[in-house]
Structure 1
Amino acid sequence: MISTDSHSRAYHTVVFTDLDGTLLNHDDYSYKAAMPAIDELRANGTPLILVSSKTRAEMAQLCAELVITDPYVCENGSLIVMPEAWVKSFGIATDSFTFSDGAWQFVQGAKRPQILTLLAELKRHYDFTGFADMSVANVVDCTGLSEAAAAQAMQRLATEPLLWHDKESALIEFAQQLSKHNLRVVKGGRFYHVMAHCDKSDAVRYLLNTYESHYGAKVKSIALGDSPNDLVMLKEVDQAVVMPHKDGTYMHDDELLNEIRAPQEGARGWRAGVEAALQALRNGEEA
């Protein structure tokens, strides 16, 4: 149970979380077992920021289901979406944003059409399959998503997920070719993602700075993730929670200090990880 005593309210906290294999179960994408912790965060006024490789279409629906009115970060940090009411409440200038479907959004780096143009050239030399090469049925087969969810996953604005079929050495060469065009490839849970030189940490820093400016005080931060593309986000916060992979193993990085290891993957482990991270922050304040 997440404590709601007066000491836990002595400072503001923000929670950032990856989705697949973290908040969402790996196989059935359920978040049901995490709901007690989500409800407590909401009751305490603690922002919950979803940070994922998923698209805005996918994440907008999930935020609606979870009744989350905070910003969310899509496509591995390439797109930040901020609800209109939140932007007004925080008094944020929107000069560099675009408005769509009741929210402001900001694309960092290259947009998807630029990425696809380059990938079409590279496809002559390397063996891979991108979302642009797939039908909805193909994406369903690769992900286990429903047809509707797969169609949402294909509505990308700033990244291109792909399945790599070539040799590991070819992947290194491929990455070198991308870098010549200010792009890079990042390994996610199921796919590699081609994107600009921005990542989840850029979005986390921006949002933390925004919350601190709004509150006028330092914000304590927690992040949960399970994949290599989550590491930069985990290193930006006060308390990192590393989620196990489906086989029970954990990713490791020597620069990730004092991390908490959640006891299991998915929603049930997420709940335990959030509760442990909040307790660790309280213990740190009391020390």
Structure 2
Amino acid sequence: MMFKGSTSIILVGWLLMVTGDRECSWSRTTVQKVDSCPVNKSTYEQRRMEKNCQALAELQHCTTPSNFLYHCLINEYGDALIEVCAPIFIINGYCAEYNIIGARIQPHYSLKCSDINPPCGDRYNSTDAYLYTGCYDIVKKNQLKTNVNTNTVSSTELSTTVGEIPVKENSSLETQPALIAVIVIVMIAVVTVVIAVPILVIKRRGYPCRKVSEGSPEQNPLMPLKKSTILSGSVTNFTCDRSRYEKFINLGKALRDTLLVEGDTLQDKMDENKGLKDLLS
């Protein structure tokens, strides 16, 4: 029983070492996206020296310093290349990737070694990923597709924007005649008011009825003065309020027409009235 318990503890510890140590947050601090990865030994050594992973190898606690090495791998999405200092890992049958979220090197399960050209090895160290350029080529193809899609979307948006410009211009052109019509109507109304107001004021105040240069007001008893200037016993000018006497004049005309018999004249009626007056007296 004690042997079985000890075996279980050893297995659990081994699993923790294998799985739990796979995440290395130290490696995440060294991640850098690059345009290309080395494809031969000399370029690999040059880039390894520039990255200088040895400076951090003594500080990190993910693995032994000798296993904390330079890598150039694809990312977890297969659309970018990454330089990183990370613990070495053995890859079986797939392209190698560095997962930024998990902070670890692992197989890129959507890219089998047998599906790329040239194919990668069935089993290889993650530091040897530079030997299998077919994995890098997939990234370049994915980047090209992304750029094409981005350009297509940009072109569509540009076409839509350019297509909208004439519509806006036409709309403004269509509103101009309506605006001009409103302005013209307002101007006509203003001019009409300016002309009509003085006329109405003049009519309400009255207007000259007769101009007399000689004589006195008594010579015109039916034309009362509204405004007059009397010089040397003569009236030089006067006006009358026509509306106040028109109804009496019209009433007199109607009465005259009623009294006159057809064929009679006003003089006949006057003579007749005079004879009647003499008879009564």
Q: TM-score range by the shorter chain?
A: under 0.3
Q: TM-score, normalised by structure 1?
A: 0.21
By relative contact order (CA 8 Å, sep 6+), the higher-ranking structure is 1
* Higher fraction of helix: 2
